[in-house]
Amino acid sequence: MNQNLIATIEANGGEVVTTPYSELISIIADRYIKKWLRQGLYGDAALAKVLTKVIAVLNGKYYKMFQRILPGTECRIRHNAEEVLSRFDLSIYHTGESMENILKIFHLIERHPNLSLFVQTNPAYCCPSLVTEAMASKIERITGIPIVTIEYDGTGGSKNEDVIPYLKYPRSRHAKDFKKAM
């Protein structure tokens, strides 16, 4: 679907950091649970809370196995979600892909402080992706990390070349407001 984007990034000197789905759940679950509680969807909130606990227990088993190879890999959420989201005029009750992207970005920066580029991949005219893309300049201003968006439109034309200039000629990191958002 993404025309072998990881290979393109690695062939041009980049290193790709991905977020496991179980880690994404840890990053965003509380936002959904709070929203469902506020909406009176107690069953959904309770089920989600139980599932997040189960995921945490299962992850703990795997993190122990990998600690001797990759120390410090255990997922810990350190940022204050309410403060991070408020920097983008979002509240803790907002949910959806754009909120998830913001929280994931800050989580990735905490886990990998040497990040120098975010690559956002979108299907053509995906509304939530367009919202995140509209926030890209503000994300860069706060984090100091540029975002390149690649939109796959289904035409088959190669889109991944858009990322190459960002890898070959990286911008220096000048985050003005990042610490405030943490």
CA-CA distance, 102 to 26, in Å (whole number)?
A: 14
Is the Cα dihedral 104, 115, 12, 146 positive or negative?
positive
3-state secondary structure of 147: strand
CA-CA distance, 132 to 93, in Å (whole number)?
A: 17
Cβ distance 113 to 85 under 8 Å? Answer: no
Residue 18's Cα: distance from chain center in Å?
Answer: 9
Q: What is the pLDDT along the chain (182 residues), one digit of tens a residue?
A: 678 899 999 999 999 998 888 888 888 888 899 889 999 999 999 999 999 889 888 887 877 777 777 666 566 666 788 888 888 888 777 888 888 999 999 999 988 888 999 998 888 777 878 888 889 999 999 999 999 988 887 777 788 888 999 998 887 665 555 555 45
Cβ distance 156 to 126 under 8 Å? Answer: no
pLDDT value of residue 93: 75
Backbone dihedral region for residue 156 (phi beyond 0: left; psi -120 to 50: alpha; all else: beta):
left
pLDDT value of residue 158: 82
CA-CA distance, 26 to 10, in Å (whole number)?
A: 28
User: Is the whole model's pTM more than 0.85, yes or no?
Assistant: no
Task: Quick: pLDDT tens for 91-116.
Answer: 777 888 888 999 999 999 988 888 99
Query: What are the boundaries of each domain within the chain?
Result: 1-17+112-182, 18-79+91-96
